[in-house]
Chains A and B, each alone.
Chain A
Amino acid sequence: MITEHFKIAIIGSGPSGLSAAAHAAELGISHILLEAEQHPANTITKYQKGKLVMAEPNALPLRSPMSFAVGTREKVLETWIDELQQYHVNLRLGAQVASITGGLGAFSITLASGQALKAEYIVLAIGLQGNIRKLGVSGEDLPGVQYQLDDPDEFEDETIVVVGGGDTGIENALALMKKNQVILINRQEGFINCKERNYTQLKAALKQGEIECRLDTGVENVELAENEQFPLKFVARTQQGIERIGCHRVIARLGADPPRQLLESFGVRFPSDDPASVPQLSASYESNVPGLYIVGALAGYPLIKQAMNQGYEAVDHILGRPVEPADEILLREKFSRCQELGTVAESLAKIRQNVPLLSPLSNLQLRDFLLESNVLAPREGEIVFRRNDYSTTFFCIVAGSVEACIHDDAKPNFKLKAGDFFGDMALISGRRRAGTIRAGKDCLLIETPRHYMLKLIDSLESVRRMIDEVALKRAVRVYIGLSLSESDLNYLVHDAKVRHYAAGDVLFYEGAKPDGLYLIQRGSVTISRMIGGKEVVLSYVSAGNYVGEMALVSGQPRFGTVRAAVSIEAIHLNCDRVAEVMARNPDIRNEMHERYLTHMQDEHIGATLQSGNDAGNLISFLVRQGIGEATDVLLIDESLCTRCNNCEKACADTHDGTSRLDRKSGPTFDQIRVPSSCRHCEHPHCMKDCPPDAIRRSVNGEVFINDTCIGCGNCVANCPYDVIQLASIEVHRKRPSLWQWLILGVGTEPGTKGDLSDKATTKLAVKCDMCKDLAAGPACVRSCPTGAAIRVGPEEFLDYAVWHNNKIA
């Protein structure tokens, strides 16, 4: 028998193997791609049917002849299989590798079938899924015990035990619960390793009783239960003792480990005994066995795009072709606008040296950070952003300086220089910009999107600490005393603390001894007093203001109780220090005194209005509806609303035939209804987990979804107010003609949904965009014939409530 001979043998046809093989094929290198199963990309084939495959990290370019973009499992596989043929990849299915011997230039590969191959180089891309963790107890291989789930719709009216509290386990449980009774077993006492979206959905399902859950629970064994209602008995070890759960099926999703034994038989060494540890590799992905390259999940890179790039690069390394990082060209493009930065390496070094905030980032993190950011070189005097803009990006100054103007654009209040950063206040508060920033001479800035900055703050403690420190001092200066001297400011913030409160938590109680001043950095609070034996909300204070000054000015105990309306962040300033600084600074004292009088007035009005209004009051109602985090909310006065639905029709007519507001739903108080319609939250929950980053906030504050939406539904699940829906969008829809309908009776009435059934439609997320593209303003409000629908911003809530109460009285 003639032994086949190849330059490169690629073992495993997952994303990295496919990419390596296709690259070798396109270069005309003799190669073979060995796959143990009867189809390529087995791991992805085993994904749940219809699962959306993500293409993260977004900014990283794909380096492979094979294409890859966000899409369903089916779409991704279909494309790959087409491309395999297109590139004439030498794929051999059903070829399981039994052993590898020899070395660089002369490897011998023996297949399970006994066949032998020769190869000069080997790219090992077998992933982890060949070594799935099993239950590890007796009965783990019984029929009905499975370790994957292809199509959840295959099962109906079964009792299914799902084992595993990670993402896959939760996703399986959620998909199965629609038609089956699902019991989820989690070894841990909480769900700490899962994506937020999965956690939110699971929580909702548990609350609704759609999934039963056993926490802190292990597996004893699985038994066959003959002649009983259920074919299987899952024996669980709970904190209360042994529980026997009758079921039709057990689905265990426990992750996978590197196939260590196999790799060690190839001569590959591991750095530690930890079963999860991955083999040690050189910068060119070569293992300790010369000529044996390892890529993909087995090399510790679980993301598909990274794996595909590695497969490609490994082939280049083998062929001795120069390999530069995939993102190099993008970075070069970014820096090309600022010649003085030099090459990519020089630019990175300069940024790291000039901006202390970014110095703790690893090289990879800094590259990723810059890929997501813009490098700007504004002219001297150019405005970077204006006061009251709704932009939420974050800026670092690499060179030059900027001026910050808080109250008056003509009068700069302070200057920021290279190494400083700004945009932190809007980042933290989610509100409009507190001031205007104007570029100085030779200014060089890095502008980073909010979502990326939040991710960075979340993952790097030192970055968080640095931003918090500066942001705190800056907030105190901007909101309390621009005229404060540096030494007074330092004295004031010396032992200041950022405190976090959950919605409903109390900052301080009425009648308590004053402990200091609270500067609301994020969220909003209500001020209430006990009137006639019950707590009555008198006033509402939003981010960028302070509370607690009344007692400081008057020297009396706390006037009212201050409660967080939503989860908030407040800076606490020490009482004595504030008093001392006030004594030294008449300006600050006067301003605080004035604020005191205004609060007094608001609360006096609030208090007089409460008498006789036993049902509670409008402010606390609105706060309960989440107004505390809204930037703009639609209110309908039911005493004016004739239920004509013109608001919904106007919304539908101006938004592809789908209304984004539901007039009839939503609670009502005192004739005021808060309908299901977006409130454009300060920190939009919907933005949290949007894979294509399609949810944006415009300069005027509208939160909207742009064309890059992929219809994954994350925002729908994340919105606590149920105001986002997945709707069939007719691409290139023509608005119905009014005259055709009115005179000829042809077509649909404007504002009604047309028949979409026979047209190609895609389901995408839709929500209120406040008609940001219509100069005249929101169509719903403009189309209300009786003036029942209005939009109110947070600055107006108190005035609105006072006005409404006056009207009732």
Chain B
Amino acid sequence: MQHNTLLEYKRYRYLKAALLLAGLASVAYLLQRPPTGAYGGTWLGYALGTASAVLVVLLLWLGVRKRQYLGPGTMQGWLSAHVYLGMSLVILATLHTGLQFGWNVHTLSYLLLLAVIGNGFYGLYAYLRFPRMMTENLGEDNLDSLLLKIADLDELARTNALQLPDEINQIVHKASRETRIGGGVIEQLAGRQPNCPTSEAVRKLHYLGKNLKGAQPKLHRELYSIMLRREALVARARKDIMLKARLEFWLYWHIPLSIGLLVTLIAHVTAIFFYW
């Protein structure tokens, strides 16, 4: 029993299928010399178009199969096929167009297809790369435990700062109040907050350690260490949210674009019947 990635699934079964499909299509395209020139209306054009349309429906079906938990085959097999057959679609659909483009619903459909596949490539990259980074970033923790630790440190820092000058106290309070973990879409995807109050506090504390009296220097050193730890925890929490966002964000484009593609594809096919 082993763990295999979705690309390696069943010794690259669907890579082989996709290569075969794209290879056959390419050879047929190169051998064929239609008098009208290559376009979607030749017999090969129709064949490639039909194959591509069937593939698009099959690829869209992944969304259905994913929720049919008793459905046929394994989800890994389906996703592996989705990825490789989706890639082969770039070649099949391009050959189908015969490189005839214009300002019309047909070309729009083709462009949407490329957009969905391009977006899918990013998704594949994200799926293969980010999960490992997420585990490495969190270690034995999870997001909730990080937030709890940050809250604990806050309490420590505030108690500590009470006995230090107002300026320091204010910095600490600001860091605790205004540091955002998560935030809007942009901040989530970027994994950082512009002018992060916690980092600012660390920076400023460095210079505010002079002219302290009595027990204050010791408290200040402790506070600095607390804020350093807080900064690191905040960074880890943000990184977790960032990776999760990046892992999911592309899907918010992938699915609407696919639905758009389906709509234009229906328009494209319907229009073809009118040409006939």
The CA of A785 and the CA of B142, in the complex, are separated in Å by: 23
Select the residue from B5, B70, B130 with max chain A CB neighbours within 10 A.
Answer: B70
On whether the beta carbons of A639 and B75 are closer than 8 Å, the reply is no
In the complex the two chains form, is B131's CB within 8 Å of A653's CB?
no
B3 touching A790, Cβ below 8 Å:
yes
Cβ of B195 within 8 Å of any chain A Cβ, yes or no, is no
CB A737 to nearest CB in B, in angstroms, measures 10
A671 to B140, CA, bound (A): 11
Q: Is A28 an interface residue (CB 8 A)?
A: no
For A643, give its contact among B1, B3, B5, B134 (CB under 8 Å). B134
Of A635, A742, A776, which contacts B64 at CB under 8 A? A742
Compute how far the CA of A507 lies from the CA of B2 in the bound complex, rounded to whole angstroms. 31
Question: Quick check: B69 and A640 within 8 Å, CB to CB?
Answer: no
Cβ of B159 < 8 Å from any Cβ of A? no
Closest residue on chain A to residue B244 by CB atoms: A643
B6 touches A641 (CB 8 A): no
- Nearest-Cβ distance from residue A738 to partner chain B, whole angstroms: 5
Instruction: For the complex formed, measure the closest distance between the CB of B59 and the CB atoms of chain A, giving whole angstroms.
Output: 14
* A646: B residues at CB distance < 8 A: 66, 75
Verify if B68 is at the interface (C-beta below 8 Å from A).
yes
Q: Judge whether B69 and A637 touch: CB under 8 Å.
A: no
CB of A496 closer than 8 Å to a CB of B: no
Contact call A786/B6, Cβ cutoff below 8 A: yes
Question: B99-123 CB contact bits vs A (8 Å, 1 = yes)?
Answer: 0000000000000000000000000
Q: Which listed residue (A640, A654, A803) contacts B131, Cβ 8 A?
A: A640
**Any B CB within 8 A of the CB of A650:** yes
A799 CB contact (under 8 Å) in B1, B5, B64, B68: B1
Q: B51-85 toward A: CB 8 Å interface, digit per residue (1/0)?
A: 00000000000011011111000111011000000
Q: Does A130 contact B (CB under 8 A)?
A: no
A792 close to chain B: CB less than 8 A: yes
By beta carbon, the residue of chain B nearest A795 is B1
Assess the A638–B1 pair: CB atoms within 8 A.
no
Determine whether the beta carbon of A786 is less than 8 Å from that of B135.
no
Residues of chain A in range 661-690 having any CB-CB distance to chain B below 8 Å: 664, 667-668, 671
Q: A782-B74, A785-B78 are in contact. Are A639 and B67 (CB under 8 A)?
A: no
Could you tell me which residues of chain A, from 779 to 793, have a CB within 8 Å of some CB in chain B? 779, 781-788, 790-793
Given contacts A742-B64, A787-B4, contact A638 B244 (CB under 8 A): no
B205 CB within 8 Å of chain A: no
Q: Which of A643, A654, A664 contacts B70 (CB 8 A)?
A: A654
B11 within 8 A of A: no
A642 within 8 A of B: yes
State which of B66, B79, B135 has its C-beta within 8 Å of the C-beta of A671: B135
Are A638 and B131 neighbours in the complex by a CB distance under 8 Å?
A: yes
| B79 adjacent to A786 (CB under 8 Å) | yes
Assess whether B1 is in contact with A800, with CB atoms less than 8 Å apart: yes
Cβ A671 vs Cβ B132 within 8 A: yes
B119-162 CB mask vs A (1 if < 8 Å, else 0) is: 00000000100111011000010100000000000000000000
B66, B69, B247, most chain A CB atoms within 10 A? B69
Q: Are B135 and A638 in contact (CB under 8 A)?
A: yes
Q: Report A-chain residues with C-beta under 8 Å of the C-beta of B75.
A: 646, 782-785
Q: How far is the CB of B8 from chain A (nearest CB, A)?
A: 8
Residue from the list A639, A653, A664, A787 in contact with B76, Cβ < 8 A: A787
Residues of A within 8 A of B29 (CB): none
A 723-758 contacts with B by CB, 8 A: 738, 742, 749-751
Contacts of B142 in A (CB 8 A): 664
What's the A-B contact tally at a CB cutoff of 8 Å? 96
**Judging by beta carbons under 8 Å apart, are B74 and A790 in contact?**
no
Cβ contacts under 8 Å, B67 to chain A = 649, 738, 742, 749-751
* B39 in contact (CB, < 8 A): no
Closest Cβ–Cβ distance, residue A202 to chain B (whole Å): 29
Q: How many Å from the CB of B3 to the closest CB on chain A?
A: 4
**Across the interface, do A642 and B247 meet the contact criterion of CB distance under 8 Å?**
yes
Q: Which residues of chain B are near A807, meaning CB under 8 Å?
A: 3
B-side contacts of A56, CB under 8 Å: none
Contact: A786 with B127, CB < 8 Å?
A: yes
Chain A residues within an 8 Å CB radius of B6: 640, 785-787
Whether A774 pairs with B135 at a CB distance below 8 angstroms is no
Closest to A799 in B: B1
Asked if A750 and B69 make an inter-chain contact with CB atoms under 8 angstroms apart, the answer reads yes
Residues of B within 8 A of A589 (CB): none
| Chain A residues, CB < 8 A from B135 | 638-639, 668, 671
Q: Are B69 and A804 in contact (CB under 8 A)?
A: no
Chain A residue nearest to B62 in the complex (CB): A785
| Assembly CA distance A753 to B146 (angstroms) | 28
Say if the beta carbon of A580 comes within 8 Å of chain B.
Answer: no
Q: Is the Cβ of A654 less than 8 Å from the Cβ of B69?
A: yes
**How would residues 619 to 657 of chain A score, 1 for a CB under 8 Å from any chain B CB and 0 otherwise?**
000000000000000010111111100100110011000
B207 to chain A, nearest CB (A): 39
Q: Closest CB-CB distance, B147 to chain A, in whole Å?
A: 15
**Considering the chains assembled together, what is the distance between the CA atoms of A519 and B40 in angstroms?**
73
Q: What is the CA–CA distance of A784 and B69 in the complex, to the nearest angstrom?
A: 10
Nearest neighbor of A739 in chain B, beta-carbon distance: B64
- Contact assessment for A638 and B132 in the assembled complex, using a CB-CB cutoff below 8 Å: yes
Q: Is the CB of B69 within 8 A of A650?
A: yes
Q: Which residue of the partner chain, among B5, B64, B69, contacts A779 with CB atoms under 8 Å?
A: B69
Known: A664-B142, A738-B67. A787 touches B5 (CB 8 A): yes
Q: Which residue of B lies closest to A797 (CB)?
A: B1
Cα distance, A793 to B244, chains bound together (Å): 32
Interface flag for A796 (CB, 8 Å): yes
How many angstroms from the CA of A790 to the CA of B74 in the assembled complex?
A: 12
Write out the residue numbers on chain A whose beta carbons fall within 8 Å of the beta carbon of B4.
787
Chain B residues with Cβ below 8 Å from A787 are: 3-6, 9, 76
Residues of B within 8 A of A784 (CB): 74-76
Residues of A within 8 A of B134 (CB): 638, 643
**Distance of B1 from chain A, by nearest CB (Å):** 5
| A640-B5 in contact given A650-B69, A738-B68, A785-B66 (Cβ < 8 Å) | yes
Select from chain A the residue with minimum beta-carbon distance to B136.
A671
Q: Which residues of A contact B127 (CB under 8 A)?
A: 642, 786
- Among A641, A742, A783, A803, which residue has the most Cβ atoms of chain B within 10 A? A783
CA distance in complex: A800, B2 (Å): 6
Shortest C-beta distance, B244 to chain A (Å), equals 7
Contact A643 B76 (CB under 8 A): no
Q: Name the B residues within 8 Å of A643 (CB-CB).
A: 131, 134, 244, 247
Q: Once bound together, how far apart are the Cα atoms of A359 and B135, in whole Å?
A: 60
Distance in angstroms between the alpha carbons of A359 and B2 in the assembled complex: 51
Q: In the complex the two chains form, what is the Cα distance from A631 to B140 in whole Å?
A: 26
Q: Which residues of B contact A751 (CB under 8 A)?
A: 67, 69
As a 0/1 sequence over residues 90 to 123 of chain A, the CB contacts with chain B under 8 angstroms (1 = contact) are 0000000000000000000000000000000000
Q: How far is the CA of A39 from the CA of B75 in the complex (A)?
A: 62
Given A738-B64, A742-B64, is A790 in contact with B69 using a C-beta cutoff of 8 Å? Answer: no
Q: Which residues of A contact B79 (CB under 8 A)?
A: 785-786
In whole angstroms, what is the CA distance A807 to B79 when docked? 23
* Chain B min CB distance to A515 (Å): 36
Return the CB mask of A250-294 against B: 1 if under 8 Å, else 0. Answer: 000000000000000000000000000000000000000000000
- A651 CB to closest chain B CB, in angstroms? 8
> Quick check: A639 and B132 within 8 Å, CB to CB?
yes
| Whole-angstrom distance between the Cβ of B239 and the nearest chain A Cβ | 14
- Looking at the assembled complex, report how far the CB atom of B237 sits from the nearest CB atom of chain A, in whole angstroms: 15
Q: Can you give 15 contacting A-B residue pairs, CB < 8 Å?
A: A642-B247, A643-B244, A649-B67, A654-B69, A654-B70, A664-B142, A742-B67, A749-B67, A774-B70, A779-B70, A783-B74, A785-B75, A787-B3, A790-B3, A793-B1
Closest 6 CB pairs of A and B: A639-B132, A638-B135, A650-B69, A787-B76, A637-B3, A785-B79
* Seed contacts A750-B69, A800-B1; 13 additional CB < 8 Å A-B pairs: A638-B134, A640-B3, A640-B5, A642-B127, A654-B70, A738-B64, A742-B63, A749-B67, A783-B69, A784-B76, A786-B131, A792-B1, A803-B2
What is B's interface to A at a CB cutoff of 8 Å? Answer: 1-6, 9, 63-64, 66-70, 74-76, 78-79, 127, 130-132, 134-135, 140, 142, 244, 247
